[in-house]
Amino acid sequence: MLRSYVVCSTVGPMRTRPRALESDPPSSRRRSNDPPLLILTSLAGGPKHGHALLKDIEEFAGVKLGPGALYGAITRLEERGLIEPLESEDRRRPYEITAKGSEVLADSIAQMRELVRVGQARLKVASTPRMRLA
């Protein structure tokens, strides 16, 4: 679901991405690139540090975030209380999603789900007359 979407996220700024076509070569497919939402989604699966976050996000969303973008988003998420750091003796400090963060992520997913529902319904209506004409 996160591979391509148009969402007015409550987590980050609005991102508008044209939908990728299955027939497009993988390199030309547009990926979702809303770092805060991607980070929350990743942390919903358990606490992770920066390196693990990058790997996980690349794996489930096909997005390779830059370190600058990752830590910009981590800063904002922590300021808003959506994630929190865990104690660590290592330089790699892990983060976990907070209850508020889970709530915000659930809201965002609900919005996307609604968007997908409306979009699919309208596409079905729009494609029916064309099919009849053909």
Partner 1 sequence: MGSGPKDSRPHLRASDPRLRWYPPSWRARYGDELIALLDDEYGGHLPTLVRLGLVTGGLRQRARESGLTGDSAPAAERLRAGALVVLTAWVAFVIAGASFAKFSEHFDQALPHSMSAHHVSDLAFTVLQTVAGVASILVIVGALLAVPAFVRYLRAGGWPSLRRHFMRAFACTGLTLAVTVPLVVWAHHLTPHQRNGGIHLYGTLFLLGAALIVMTLASWTVVAIVAGSRVALSKTVLIAEGILAVVVAVAMVVMVGATAVWWGVLARSAPAFLSGSPGGVSGSPWDVWLVATVALMVVAMGTGAVGVVREARVWRRMQVD
Can you give the binding site for partner 1, defined by CB under 8 A?
A: 49-51, 54, 66-72, 74-76, 79, 90-93
Q: How far apart are CA 91 and CA 71, in angstroms?
A: 14
Q: How far is the CB of 71 from partner 1 (least distance, A)?
A: 5
Least separation in angstroms between residue 48's CB and partner 1 is 12
Closer by beta carbon to partner 1, 45 or else 71: 71
Q: How far apart are CA 55 and CA 83, in angstroms?
A: 18
Q: 15: which 2 tokens?
A: 């991102």
Q: Which is nearer to partner 1, 94 or 109 (CB)?
A: 94
Nearer to partner 1, 91 or 132 (CB): 91
Q: Please, what is the minimum distance in Å from the beta carbon of residue 58 to partner 1?
A: 11
| Dihedral angle computed from the Cα positions of residues 45, 50, 51 and 57, in that order, rounded to the nearest 10 degrees | 50
Residue 47 vs 109, nearer CB to partner 1: 47
d(CA 50, CA 83): 13
> Cα–Cα distances in Å, from 27 out to 31, 62, 79?
10, 10, 35
